[in-house]
């Protein structure tokens, strides 16, 4: 079983729709990253958070430490949001301290 599970694996939406991508993890963490990988392969860090909520433009990331769950929301989605979104967590104790664990990614396609 992977330490980080993302859902859904694939997501298709119409332009303007509200998007939610979920990430659940099984290890204790000190930080969680959301990454975006464009069709060309480049990777961009969207958020790093350890509690609460962060917002950047149309993107919102939330985390619930007790439930070991994070969500990435995209409001008013646009075709340029089409990408793979990857969740990663940083372990916080014992053998996991400082290690990074990655989800397999969610492929988002937004149609005009």
Partner 1 sequence: DAGVIQSPRHEVTEMGQEVTLRCKPISGHNSLFWYRQTMMRGLELLIYFNNNVPIDDSGMPEDRFSAKMPNASFSTLKIQPSEPRDSAVYFCASSRSGSGTVQYFGPGTRLTVT
The contact pattern for partner 1, residues 5-44, with x = CB under 8 A and - = no contact, is: -------------------------xx-x-x-----xxxx
Restricted to residues 43-102, the positions that interact with partner 1 (CB under 8 A) are: 43-45, 48, 50, 86, 88, 90, 98-100, 102
Name residue 27's beta-bridge partners: none
Best CA proximity match to 81, nearest among 55, 111, 104, 40: 111
CB 24 within 8 A of CB 106: no
Q: Which is nearer to partner 1, 13 or 105 (CB)?
A: 105
Best CA proximity match to 30, nearest among 100, 87, 105, 111: 100
Q: Tell me the site size for partner 1, rule CB under 8 A.
A: 21
Q: How many CB atoms lie within 10 A of CB 93?
A: 11
Q: Which is nearer to partner 1, 77 or 105 (CB)?
A: 105
- Contact residues: partner 1, CB under 8 A: 30-31, 33, 35, 41-45, 48, 50, 86, 88, 90, 98-100, 102-105
């Amino acid at each position: 079983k992977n330490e980080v599970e993302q859902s859904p694996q694939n997501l298709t939406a119409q332009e303007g729709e509200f998007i939610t991508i979920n990430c659940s993890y099984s290890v204790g963490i000190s930080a969680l990253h959301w990454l975006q990988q464009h069709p060309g392969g480049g990777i961009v860090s969207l958020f790093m958070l350890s509690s609460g909520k962060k917002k950047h433009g149309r993107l919102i990331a939330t985390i619930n430490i007790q439930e070991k769950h994070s969500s990435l929301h995209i409001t008013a989605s646009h075709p340029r949001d089409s990408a793979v979104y990857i969740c990663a967590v940083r372990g916080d104790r014992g053998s996991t301290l400082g290690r990074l664990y990655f989800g397999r990614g969610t492929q988002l396609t937004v149609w005009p």
